[in-house]
C-alpha cells in the first residue's frame, strides 16, 4: 500500500523498512491482514533524524496505519481482560511532557513507566470500562451514576480514548475506581518509543522484555544520558537496523529556530560566530529574541535552560527573591521538578500510585498549595492526563555556595522535589515549551573549556538540545540579569483551562549573578 502522504525518499524507505519488520511479525499493512504473534526472534529497529526531519510525522502515520489494520492501542490507563488474540500497539515516551507533546498531535502516547504498571479497577466500575472499550454490555444500576452520566462518559470516550477521562466526565475521581497498581506480568506486542535518545541501557532492556517488536525514534544530535558514556541505545544496533532521515521538512516553512539548530552542524562554526547568527536572526524574525535579561514571568511555566548547576541554583533563588517567596514556605504557582519517591518497601503500593499518576523523576509540577494533612502538597503535573495530585512532599531548595539544600517543609517520606524555575539542558530533553529561554553565558563557558562529546564540541550539543526545545519562540539570554515580575504567580489557569500565553512584558531587571 502506498502511504497516503507524499514522503521524501528517506521517509519512504523508512516506512517500507518498518512495514517489512511488521510483516515478519504477522502484520501486513498493505492488506490490513493480522496474524497471531509469531514466536520468532525479537526485532528492534530505529528511525533517527535531527529536529524537523519528519520522525514524529512518520510515527503518527505508522500509528494510523496499524490502527486502520485493526491493531488495538494500549494506553496504560486500562486493559481489558478479554483480550483474545488481538494485536496491540503501545506508543511511549520517557516523560509526561514528551508524551503530552505527542498527544497534542493526535497520537495516544503514554509514559514508559505507565506501561510497566497496570491499574487495578474496582469491579463495579470495571463493567463501565469494559463497555467503553467495546468488550462488554452497557451496565445498568451502577451506584451513584445516572444514565445521563453514562452518556457523558460514552461521549467523552468517543472523542478521546481515555477510560479515566471518561469516568471523570461521569463524575468519578481516580480514587473511586482505581484501587491500586501492579507490575505488568505479561508481555505486550508492538512498542513505538519516541525521544529514545533519553533511554539508558536498563530501560532499553526492560522494554525489550515487554515488546518483541520495538521501534525507536531518536535524534542522534541530542545529549546522551549521563550514565551512557556519550552513546545512545540506538547507536548500538546493527547498521542495517537504523534508518536515518536526512531531509529537514520544517525548514521548508522558514523556521528560524531550526535554521539555527542545524547551523550547529558546521564543524568550523565558532561560538562567537554562532551568536552573531542569533543576533542577526532576531532582527529579521520575532520568533528569535536577543534577550538582555532573563524574563521572570516565563520561568513559572517554562524553565530557563542552563548548563552549569551553579547557574541553575542562582537563577532559582533570584526567581524566589523577586517574587518575595518566604524561606519557610512555597508560594502557589512555584514550579517544581520531581526528584523521585522516597518511600520504604512496605509502601510499594503508594509508590506505584504516585509514579503512575506522573510523579516520576524529572516530572514538571506546579505547586498549587498545602494539602489537608501536614507535609502534603496539592500539585499539578504538567503534561499528565489526570494532572491534579495530592501527595506527601519533600521540597528541597538549593542555596548558592551551600552544600546542603534548605527544606522549607517536608513530610517524613513521599515525593521529593527540587525547584523548577531553571533546569539543566540535560534534564530538559524530551520536553518542549512554546517559548524557551537559553542562558547563553553558560554555553560560552562550555565553549571556552573546549569539551567534546561523541566527537562534537559540547557547547554545540548543548545549544542544539536547548534550541530545539522551543516550539514557537527562542529567547537567547546574553546577560546575567533578571526582570521583575509583572504580577504575582498564578494557578487559576491550571484549574480550568490550559496555561495562558505568557509575554515578555516586564518593567525592570536586576543582576542575579
Q: What is the mean pLDDT of each run of 10 residues along the chain (513 residues)?
A: 66 92 91 79 90 90 93 78 76 85 85 80 85 86 84 85 79 73 81 92 89 94 76 90 79 78 93 97 96 96 95 96 92 93 72 78 90 88 83 89 79 86 92 94 95 87 95 96 94 59 43 50
Q: What is the pLDDT of residue 405?
A: 85
User: CA distances (Å), 448 to each of 119, 377, 458, in order?
Assistant: 50, 42, 10
At 469, phi and psi to the nearest 5? -75, -15
Confirm if 46 and 207 have CB atoms less than 8 A apart. Answer: no
Grid cell in block for residue 234: 540506538
Q: What is the pLDDT of residue 500?
A: 32
Helices (H), 378-512: 425-428, 440-449, 458-467, 492-496
Helices (H), 172-255: 174-177, 201-210
List, in sequence order, every beta strand (DSSP E) within 184-279.
190-193, 213-218, 242-245
Q: What is the pLDDT of residue 251?
A: 47
Q: What is the pLDDT of residue 63?
A: 95
CA neighbor of 357 nearest in space, from 372, 337, 379 = 379
Q: Cα angle at 317 between 316 and 318, to 5 degrees? A: 90
Which DSSP category does 490 fall into? -
- For residue 216, the cross-strand partners are 46, 193
Confirm if 327 and 408 have CB atoms less than 8 A apart. Answer: yes
CA neighbor of 73 nearest in space, from 85, 97, 91 = 91
> 3-class DSSP state for residue 319?
helix
For residues 123 and 131, give the distance between their C-alpha atoms in angstroms, rounded to a whole number.
13
Residue partners of 237: CB distance under 8 A and separation at least 6? 44, 45, 46
For residues 215 and 38, give the distance between their C-alpha atoms in angstroms, rounded to a whole number.
17
Residue partners of 2: CB distance under 8 A and separation at least 6? none
User: CA distances (Å), 330 to each of 351, 366, 408, 445, in order?
Assistant: 24, 11, 7, 32
Residue partners of 481: CB distance under 8 A and separation at least 6? 292, 293, 294, 509, 510, 511, 512
On the CB side of 266, how many CA atoms lie within 13 Å of its CA? 13
Host H or E run for residue 273: helix 271-284
Distance between first and last Cα of the chain: 59
CA neighbor of 269 nearest in space, from 473, 471, 49, 461 = 461
Cα Dmax for the chain: 72
* pTM across the whole model: 0.80
For residues 233 and 199, give the distance between their C-alpha atoms in angstroms, rounded to a whole number.
7
Grid cell in block for residue 275: 551568536
User: CA distances (Å), 368 to each of 76, 239, 499, in order?
Assistant: 26, 48, 14
Using a 10 angstrom Cβ sphere, with 0-12 exposed, 13-18 middle and 19 or more buried, the burial of residue 302 is: buried
For residues 75 and 25, give the distance between their C-alpha atoms in angstroms, rounded to a whole number.
21
> 3-class DSSP state for residue 287?
coil
Confirm if 273 and 244 have CB atoms less than 8 A apart. Answer: no
On the CB side of 302, how many CA atoms lie within 13 Å of its CA? 27
The dihedral of CA 303, 305, 309, 312: what is its sign? negative
Which DSSP category does 56 fall into? H
Residue partners of 116: CB distance under 8 A and separation at least 6? 183, 184, 206, 210
Confirm if 259 and 47 have CB atoms less than 8 A apart. Answer: no
Amino acid at each position: 500500500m502506498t502511504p497516503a502522504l507524499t514522503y521524501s525518499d528517506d521517509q519512504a524507505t523508512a516506512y517500507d523498512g518498518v512495514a517489512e519488520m511488521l510483516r515478519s511479525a504477522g502484520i501486513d499493512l498493505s492488506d490490513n491482514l493480522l496474524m497471531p504473534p509469531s514466536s520468532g526472534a525479537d526485532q528492534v529497529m530505529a528511525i533517527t533524524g535531527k529536529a524537523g526531519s519528519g520522525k514524529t510525522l512518520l510515527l503518527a502515520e505508522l500509528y494510523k496505519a496499524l490502527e486502520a489494520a485493526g491493531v488495538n492501542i494500549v494506553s496504560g490507563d486500562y486493559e481489558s481482560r478479554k483480550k483474545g488474540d488481538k494485536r496491540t500497539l503501545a506508543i511511549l515516551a520517557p516523560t509526561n511532557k514528551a508524551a503530552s507533546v505527542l498527544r497534542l498531535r493526535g497520537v495516544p502516547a503514554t509514559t514508559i513507566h505507565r506501561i510497566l504498571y497496570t491499574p487495578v479497577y474496582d469491579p463495579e466500575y470495571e463493567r463501565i470500562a469494559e463497555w467503553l472499550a467495546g468488550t462488554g454490555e452497557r451496565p445498568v444500576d451502577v451506584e451513584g451514576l445516572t444514565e445521563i452520566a453514562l452518556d457523558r462518559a460514552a461521549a467523552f470516550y468517543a472523542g478521546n480514548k481515555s477510560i479515566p477521562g471518561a469516568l471523570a466526565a461521569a463524575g468519578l475521581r481516580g480514587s473511586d475506581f482505581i484501587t491500586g497498581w501492579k507490575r505488568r506480568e505479561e508481555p505486550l506486542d508492538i512498542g513505538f518509543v519516541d525521544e529514545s535518545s533519553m533511554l539508558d541501557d536498563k530501560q532499553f532492556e526492560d522494554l525489550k522484555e515487554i515488546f518483541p517488536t520495538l521501534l525507536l525514534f531518536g535524534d542522534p544530535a541530542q545529549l546522551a544520558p549521563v550514565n551512557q558514556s556519550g552513546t545512545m541505545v540506538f547507536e548500538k544496533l546493527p547498521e542495517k537496523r537504523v534508518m536515518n532521515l536526512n531531509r529537514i521538512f520544517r525548514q521548508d516553512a522558514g523556521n528560524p529556530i531550526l535554521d539555527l539548530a542545524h547551523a550547529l552542524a558546521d564543524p568550523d562554526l565558532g561560538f562567537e560566530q554562532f551568536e552573531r547568527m542569533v543576533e542577526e536572526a532576531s532582527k529579521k524574525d520575532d520568533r528569535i529574541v536577543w534577550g538582555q535579561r532573563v524574563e521572570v514571568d516565563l520561568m513559572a511555566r517554562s524553565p530557563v535552560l542552563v548548563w552549569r548547576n551553579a547557574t541553575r541554583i542562582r537563577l532559582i533563588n533570584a526567581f524566589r527573591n523577586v517574587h518575595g517567596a518566604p524561606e519557610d514556605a512555597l508560594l502557589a504557582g512555584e514550579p517544581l521538578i520531581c526528584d523521585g519517591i522516597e518511600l520504604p518497601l512496605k509502601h510499594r503500593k503508594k509508590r506505584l500510585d504516585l509514579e503512575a499518576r506522573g510523579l516520576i523523576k524529572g516530572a514538571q509540577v506546579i505547586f498549587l498549595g498545602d494539602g489537608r494533612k501536614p507535609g502534603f502538597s496539592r500539585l499539578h503535573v504538567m503534561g499528565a492526563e489526570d494532572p491534579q495530585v495530592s501527595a506527601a512532599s519533600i521540597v528541597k531548595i538549593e542555596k548558592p555556595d551551600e552544600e546542603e539544600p534548605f527544606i522549607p517543609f517536608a513530610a517524613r517520606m513521599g515525593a521529593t522535589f527540587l525547584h523548577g524555575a531553571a533546569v539543566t539542558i540535560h534534564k530538559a530533553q524530551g520536553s518542549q515549551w512554546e517559548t524557551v529561554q537559553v542562558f547563553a553565558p553558560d554555553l560560552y563557558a562550555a565553549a571556552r573549556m573546549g569539551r567534546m562529546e561523541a566527537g562534537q564540541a559540547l557547547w554545540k550539543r548543548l545549544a542544539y538540545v536547548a534550541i530545539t526545545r522551543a516550539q514557537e519562540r527562542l529567547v537567547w539570554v546574553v546577560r546575567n540579569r533578571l526582570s521583575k515580575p509583572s504580577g504575582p504567580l498564578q494557578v487559576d489557569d491550571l484549574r480550568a483551562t490550559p496555561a495562558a500565553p505568557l509575554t515578555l512584558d516586564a518593567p525592570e531587571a536586576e543582576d542575579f549573578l
